[in-house]
Amino acid sequence: MRRLACLALLLAGCAGPRVEDYAAAQPIFDPAQFFLGKTQAWGMFQDRQGRLAKRFSVEMDGRLQDGELVLDERFLYADGSRQRRVWRLRHGSDRLWHCLAGDVAGEARGAAAGNALHWRYQLRLPVDGNEYLVDMDDWMFLIDKRSMLNRASMSKLGLGLGEVTLFFRKPE
């Protein structure tokens, strides 16, 4: 019995945070409010060993259209390459955020509480002419009304591939 209790405690310690853990944290993060209008971001991807693999900046424009937030992201990577992703976000009656984007397989879903938003989705990742489907575990934390931090873990078949870290800033 004692071994079973120890195993239960060990497994509970492995469970990650839940978005509800941040329910009391301020300021309250509302993605539709934060991403409306222009937003800038700067980020990096670190591989599973923690080495910096990519740096980038992002220019974003958010607008309301047909009850959804349309977020147009334009990435510029340090090597000069560019990428564009257009998200369509809506807050569902189930209190979840539902999102579609061209390189997301199916629908991204996220839950918000307090200053946090937690997304999970599968991303189609182009690498050297091939496309891989990777799992994204994405956390956003509002720092103040103009600043947000984002950290996303990328994995494939449960194996960690790396981390994406972004800093978002709204213009004054």
27-48 residue pLDDT tens? 999 999 999 999 999 999 999 9
C-beta of residue 22 within 8 angstroms of C-beta of residue 115: yes
Domains of the chain by range and CATH? 26-169 (2.40.128.20)
pLDDT at 49 exceeding the cut of 80: yes
- Stated length of the chain: 172
Q: Which residue has the tokens 């994204």?
A: 136
8-state DSSP, 2: H
Please give the pLDDT value at position 14.
56
8-state DSSP, 28: -
pLDDT in tens, 70-111: 999 999 999 999 999 999 999 998 889 999 999 999 999 999
Nearest to 86 by CA among 109, 111, 59, 49: 59
Distance CA 71, CA 74 (A): 10
Please give the pLDDT value at position 5.
44
pTM here is: 0.88
Please give the pLDDT value at position 165.
98
Q: Which residue has the tokens 């564009």?
A: 84
Question: Where is 137: in which H helix or E strand?
Answer: strand 130-144
